Structure 1
């Protein structure tokens, strides 16, 4: 043994030292409350949604897509919009386009229409339960437009 600890002493020192990766929930409660992105794909245009507030995510997504309209001369395309809602269904923060599949010459028109449609459809009418469940959580909503010819998918 040279300069300090024997192998047995090193093993004892390692086994009694707390592991760096261990923590108590009360030490770092934010680890358990990280928002999980809610994801959905909606084929647009959507028929008018039913009346009344949305009570489930399956009710919410088509309601948010119901205001979407195809820009002129748009072929098959897809676009993903990321945003968050408050408990009352209003937008929280600034929505962002995170993905597009469209010819470059049509990208700006598609992005503008998608952002405008979200503005037209919000605040969304939500039940208190759904409002509490989605408040502040990121939502990634993908709009898929098959084009003027049905069956033509991006």
Structure 2
């Protein structure tokens, strides 16, 4: 007997024991295999930007909180950096953030400068100020945060 009074049928158990790929769950829905990895939460921010006031309670509010600690290196040109990391419920980083994309890829020195700035921003802005509900929703899920740095557009505007 399972919690809630549901009984797993002997047919389901027999199919699972036989190693068949598709079996029915206790609720009658087909079982298609092991669970997949969690979907990556993706966000894009233009940097630098001001630090938002208050606590983030949505994903849209979280990304500027994480990017607010960006400080543009003096010799950094235009570029885009994507970092990948996960947060705990309290907003602290799990493990080490990684750079998964860097442009300009042709200029490795510029890409390294921008990559280092993005990783420093994440370290400085964590633990992020997030609500308990947002913390529960994002805990352990991969986050891909894309930093866009375009100083040349700002000078012309």
8 Å CA contact 1:79–1:97 kept in 2: the answer is yes
The one of 18, 42, 45 equivalent to 1:42 is 45
- With over 3 angstroms needed to count, the CA separation of the structure-2 counterparts of 1:54 and 1:76, relative to structure 1, is same
Q: How many pairs are equivalent?
A: 134
Q: What are the superposed Cα offsets for residues 29-84 of structure 1, whole Å, 9 maximum, x if unpaired?
A: 8516x31100011011112212x211000110000000011112211100000000
Q: In structure 1, what is the Cα distance between the partners aligned to 2:39 and 2:144?
A: 10
Q: Which runs of 5+ in 2 are unaligned?
A: 1-14
Whose radius of gyration is greater, 1 or 2? 1
**How high is the TM-score relative to the length of structure 1?**
0.77
- With over 3 angstroms needed to count, the CA separation of the structure-2 counterparts of 1:21 and 1:30, relative to structure 1, is closer
Q: In structure 2, what is the Cα distance between the partners aligned to 1:20 and 1:29?
A: 10
Partner of 1:8: none
Q: Which runs of 5+ in 1 are unaligned?
A: 1-16
Partner of 1:67: 69
Partner of 1:83: 85
**How high is the TM-score relative to the length of structure 2?**
0.76
Q: In structure 1, what is the Cα distance between the partners aligned to 2:139 and 2:40?
A: 12
Alignment RMSD: 2.6
Q: In structure 2, what is the Cα distance between the partners aligned to 1:65 and 1:90?
A: 14
SS at 2:147 equivalent? strand
Q: In structure 2, what is the Cα distance between the partners aligned to 1:117 and 1:139?
A: 15
State the 4+ residue runs in structure 1 displaced beyond 3 angstroms.
17-21, 24-30
SS at 2:154 equivalent? coil
Partner of 1:106: 110
Residue 142 (1) aligns with residue 146 (2): yes
